[in-house]
């Protein structure tokens, strides 16, 4: 087996270099191999692994050996472990169990903290802590459970869906959940994220990535502004495309622009995040051939600036969730009142397997953060809560539950093809 690789730490933090590998109680190959793949399952495997293997056994019994093998390969590919509820003591124990599973493989787990108040803007994945004090106690418990190396993806969607917030461009967010105080909800969100960053970065071998949304969502300047407010300069960077389907190619450019916009808004023209070039201007989001215009904006206003970065070490780093982006985002063939392209879209595929071999100077890793095969929610496409999802011809399982049809869809459409 090759040695464990290392890569540069970002400028915001100094700690011992460690390989960023993905583990969910599964052994993996080193990053130099270009792929991290599972090497054996144990009885303490998480529930989604059990679901995948149960479905695989059913397919094997029916004679569909190819699909059964593909699902076994999916189950053995390292994926993140989500912590979504519980008391401080309970989440401490959940994290410790994840750490113990990882210790037997000598690889750090990827942990997702997902318990903010009004998470998912109280939609399909609603829930979370009841308030600021409860969340801080919960994240303290989460941090106390970490023993050794770990990677934490902190609160997906938390910066894309901020209750009662007005972004860098002066446009109010649509997230206005019942029960959230319009006067304090946004600042509470930043306070909790900042607290979590500090609680987790005090751990010497823990890497922390905030929510950076994806290239189909926030404009670059808005994403950068929110990240700075949440404490990205004290973290290890940000995570892109979590639970989404945007292509890796687009995320690498989007992430680079966010990193440079963070530098622009903090060192070149402090506070002017709204002035940053983005996927929407001077580029056109849906026409990648125009994205060179935004590359040129950063070359002129950041790379060549008097206070521009001296090199990649001056820029924030990022990770990309490639779990379901092998076929890119969904474009519905029929019209829906609300197409919800992010919610269980059909015809999608697994993306690049987890690896630290990204080929990009700012991208620390490709990870499977979202669990492939777990539902995004009921996805009614704007047709009412009692109507089956027309994209699948059935009512989809609740968010987080296993979705057998989608799991098969993902393995059959994987790009690159799933290694078996």
Question: What are the residue numbers of the active site?
Answer: 120, 157, 376
Phi, psi for residue 390 in degrees, rounded to 5? -65, -20
370 has binding-site annotation: yes
241 has binding-site annotation: no
d(CA 208, CA 196): 9
203-219: b (≥16 Cβ within 10 Å) or e: beebbbbbbbbbbbbbb
d(CA 245, CA 381): 17
402 has binding-site annotation: no
- Give the residue among 252, 207, 42 at the shortest CA–CA distance from 109: 207
307 has binding-site annotation: no
Whether 16 and 205 have beta carbons less than 8 Å apart is answered as: yes
From residue 311, alpha-carbon distances to 294, 307, 373 in Å are 19, 12, 39
Report the length, in residues, of the chain.
420
Give the up-direction half-sphere exposure of residue 311: CA atoms within 13 A in the CB hemisphere. Answer: 6
d(CA 337, CA 323): 28
342 has binding-site annotation: yes
Count other Cβ atoms within 10 Å, centred on residue 342.
18
Which residues are paired to 394 by β-bridges?
389
32 has binding-site annotation: no
Whether 77 and 354 have beta carbons less than 8 Å apart is answered as: yes
Whether 256 and 284 have beta carbons less than 8 Å apart is answered as: no
Please enumerate, by residue number, every residue annotated as part of a binding site: 82, 217, 244, 342, 370, 374
Binding-site residues from annotation for substrate: 82, 217, 244, 342, 370, 374
């Amino acid at each position: 087996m090759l040695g464990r690789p290392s890569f540069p730490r970002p400028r915001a933090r100094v700690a011992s270099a460690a390989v960023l590998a993905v583990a969910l109680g599964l052994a993996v190959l080193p990053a130099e191999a270009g792929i991290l793949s599972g090497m054996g399952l144990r009885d303490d495997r998480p529930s989604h692994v059990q679901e995948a293997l149960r479905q695989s056994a059913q397919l094997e019994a029916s004679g569909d050996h190819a699909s059964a093998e593909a699902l076994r390969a999916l189950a053995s590919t390292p994926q993140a472990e989500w912590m979504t509820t519980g008391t401080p003591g309970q989440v401490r124990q959940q994290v410790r169990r994840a750490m113990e599973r990882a210790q037997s493989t000598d690889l750090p787990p990827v942990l997702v903290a997902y318990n903010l108040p009004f998470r998912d803007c109280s939609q399909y994945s609603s829930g979370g802590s009841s308030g600021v004090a409860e969340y801080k106690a919960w994240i303290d418990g989460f941090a106390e459970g970490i023993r050794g190396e770990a990677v934490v993806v902190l609160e997906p969607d938390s910066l894309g869906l901020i209750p009662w917030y007005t972004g860098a461009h002066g446009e109010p967010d649509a997230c206005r959940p019942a029960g959230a105080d319009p006067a304090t909800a946004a600042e509470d969100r930043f306070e909790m994220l900042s607290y979590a960053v500090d609680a987790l970065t005090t751990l010497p071998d823990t890497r922390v990535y905030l929510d950076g949304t994806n290239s189909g969502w926030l404009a670059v300047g808005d994403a950068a502004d929110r990240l700075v407010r949440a404490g990205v300069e004290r973290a290890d960077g940000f995570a892109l495309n979590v639970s989404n389907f945007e292509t890796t190619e687009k995320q690498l450019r989007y992430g680079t622009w966010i990193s440079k916009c963070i530098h622009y808004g903090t060192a070149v023209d402090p506070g002017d995040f709204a002035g940053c070039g983005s996927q929407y201007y001077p580029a056109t989001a849906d026409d990648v051939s125009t994205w060179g215009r935004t590359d040129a904006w950063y070359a002129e206003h950041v790379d060549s600036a008097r206070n521009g970065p001296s090199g990649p070490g001056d820029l924030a780093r990022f990770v990309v969730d490639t779990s379901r982006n092998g076929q890119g985002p969904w474009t519905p063939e029929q019209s829906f009142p609300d197409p919800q392209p992010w919610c269980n879209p059909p015809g999608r595929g697994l993306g690049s397997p987890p690896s630290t071999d990204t080929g990009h100077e700012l991208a620390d890793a490709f990870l499977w953060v979202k669990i492939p095969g777990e539902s995004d929610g009921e996805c009614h496409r704007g047709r009412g809560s009692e109507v089956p999802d027309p994209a699948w011809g059935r009512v989809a399982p609740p968010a987080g539950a296993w979705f057998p049809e989608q799991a098969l869809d993902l393995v059959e459409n994987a790009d690159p093809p799933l290694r078996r």
